[in-house]
Each structure stands twice: as C-alpha cells, then as structure tokens.
Homo-oligomer: A and B are copies of this chain.
C-alpha cells in the first residue's frame, strides 16, 4: 500500500500520515520525490483499511501496490534515487557516474596507499578494498579486518576518496558501518536476510551485489529487505552470473541494468572485474557497462597484480584504469552523462567526514 501526498503537502502533513500509519500498527516509509512525497506502508498482512488515510490532510491518493517489491519500485518513487556524500561532490545515481576503484584486498598500508593515489589521480571518487574476504576455502587469506578499515579511513582523509568495503557478517557490519562510507553486501550474502535487515538498520548507503544465480525479482527483493528496515540508500550491482560459459569466470549480464532501471528508482552499477575474472576483459566490459546505461563501475586495480593475495588475475594495472576512465568518460558523454574527474572535498569537510 502506498500513500501519495499532494505536491504542496507540508512536512507536518507527511509526518501526520506517518504517525497514523504507525498507530495502525504498520510501518511508514516516507520517500520524497522531485514532485511529491510517497509513503510506503509495510508490515501489513493483506488489505489495509484505507479510509482513514485517504481523508487526511495533504493526501492525494492511496494506491494498492500489487508487485512483490514495494519500496524499490518506481510505483512508489518515480524519480531516480541519488545518493549524496556530504562534504563532497561524490554521488551515486543521477547524471554523474560513480567510479569506484581499488584492490580486491587491503594487504598493507603501502599497497593500499599506492593504489589509492593512482585511482584518485585517475579521477575515481570512491575507493574499494576488502577488509573481510568471503573465501571459498577456510584456509585462504581472509583479510586484515579492522586494521584494513583503519587504513581505508586514512585514505579517505588523505585523498578525499569515499570508502566502499564489504561486511561479511554482523560483527564486520558494525565495524564497516563505523569506518566506511558505503557498506558492501557481497554476492554470496545476497540472500542472507539477517544481514540485509541489519544493514537496513544502519544509516549508511548499502551496495548490494547480485547473487550468482539471482533472478531480477530476487535481486530487487533483497534490496527490499534493506529498505523495509528504513535504509533507503541502496545501490544495486551486477557482477556476473553463473552459466555454462567457460571463457569468463562469470557471465556478465548487462541487460539487467535497463531491466532494473525500468522497475526501480535505485541506482545500479556494474563490476566487470568479477563479472569477467580476466584482466584483458575488464576494459571492454567496463565500456559496455557505461554504454548500456549503468550508473557507475566498481573496478579492481592493483599495481602489482602478480603479487596480489586475492583476485590478481582480474585486477587491472593503474595505467589501464586511467585508460578506462578516459574511454568511459567519452562514452558517458554520448548518453549525456558525465564522469566527474575526482572527488572535490568541501573546505573543512575531510576532518568532519567521520
């Protein structure tokens, strides 16, 4: 169920409707749009008595939402969601593309800083780096944990880059939410509903990767889990699905980008590094992702990929990242979009960033 407010509805009227919904025992999700605010209602089993709500001041109409996903849907919020990062010009969603780059894993302060400097210089606004790694083998390198988070916090202070890193469980989530700017939920956890709900209770943006065998509906429903807890800042990420094809590690399904954009207001970015698993395929698929209309890219970059503790084979070199930024900028322009050249931090913002 969805309450659409009138364009001229006041903040107080919106609040009054939310209070009434909560008083009815449901949960209210106010989602401001460019023209007007819609309020999603969740927590109901079956039909809601709509009479009370329709008569309230400032309400335009009350609509039944028949799709299984509600808060992620364009029915509830027509305008594209744009995530903003206070104190900087960095955004995810909207006209500007979000460029996220960095190593698979944070291996050391030296490694992280060397790569961060490169990607910041090449124009990325976000730095990615694994602190907690979900590895197929219990005996493989599992990440540096909090030490890595601290290194990345330093990188933010030094280069102004916003930090994206994965939370693999509740414990890691607490720390990631404390140190990072964007909480990543990995493909293997896309249906770890407990973790999704916990991320939904944080007030940091969540980057949700598509599961290896997730349908479009399952992908959107996973985002719905996060939003249903009140966190509306969700970014989707296509990173390849599992098929019979063996020339790439996964099969990058770029068609999900326009498919998501048709149904949902959430931004969707693409990860060609995991999507192909091969260094020589990252650049062409990155170009293709921008051309298909993705709202950004997340790219693994390593200055010494042969020595990387994880995923070296799919990490591109710094100079390849520069070329990627250049070609993607030109393609973005064809779609009347832009790749902003690096993050600009407002005066005094770096110190206040945490």
Interface residues of A (CB under 8 A from B): 42-44, 68-70, 134-139, 168-172, 188-189, 191-195, 197, 211-213, 215-218, 221, 224-225, 228, 241-248, 251-259, 262, 275-276, 280-281, 284-285, 287-293, 327, 330-331, 334-335
Give the complex CA separation of A341 and B293 in angstroms. Answer: 25
CB < 8 Å: which of B136, B287, B331 contacts A218? B136
* CB proximity of A59 to chain B, nearest CB, Å: 22
Q: Taking CB as reference atom, which chain B residue is nearest A217?
A: B136
Q: Taking CB as reference atom, which chain B residue is nearest A196?
A: B138
Asked if A138 and B224 make an inter-chain contact with CB atoms under 8 angstroms apart, the answer reads yes
Give the complex CA separation of A225 and B197 in angstroms. Answer: 24
Asked if B216 and A246 make an inter-chain contact with CB atoms under 8 angstroms apart, the answer reads yes
Q: A134-B191, A137-B68, A281-B255 are known contacts. Are A247 and B293 too (CB-CB below 8 A)?
A: no
Asked if A288 and B292 make an inter-chain contact with CB atoms under 8 angstroms apart, the answer reads yes
Please give, as numbers and ranges, the residues of chain B lying within 8 Å of A256 by CB-CB distance: 245, 247
What are 20 A-to-B residue pairs whose CB atoms are below 8 Å?
Answer: A68-B136, A134-B191, A135-B193, A136-B221, A138-B221, A138-B225, A188-B192, A188-B193, A192-B192, A212-B213, A216-B247, A248-B255, A251-B251, A254-B284, A255-B281, A255-B284, A258-B284, A291-B331, A327-B334, A331-B334
Please give, as numbers and ranges, the residues of chain B lying within 8 Å of A43 by CB-CB distance: 139
Please give, as numbers and ranges, the residues of chain B lying within 8 Å of A194 by CB-CB distance: 168-172
Asked if B292 and A287 make an inter-chain contact with CB atoms under 8 angstroms apart, the answer reads yes
Please give, as numbers and ranges, the residues of chain B lying within 8 Å of A251 by CB-CB distance: 241, 243, 251, 253, 255
* CB proximity of A46 to chain B, nearest CB, Å: 10
Q: Taking CB as reference atom, which chain B residue is nearest A187?
A: B191
Please give, as numbers and ranges, the residues of chain B lying within 8 Å of A258 by CB-CB distance: 280-281, 284-285
CB < 8 Å: which of B69, B168, B245, B252 contacts A193? B168
Q: A192-B188, A247-B259 are known contacts. Are A284 and B291 too (CB-CB below 8 A)?
A: yes
Give the complex CA separation of A215 and B246 in angstroms. Answer: 7
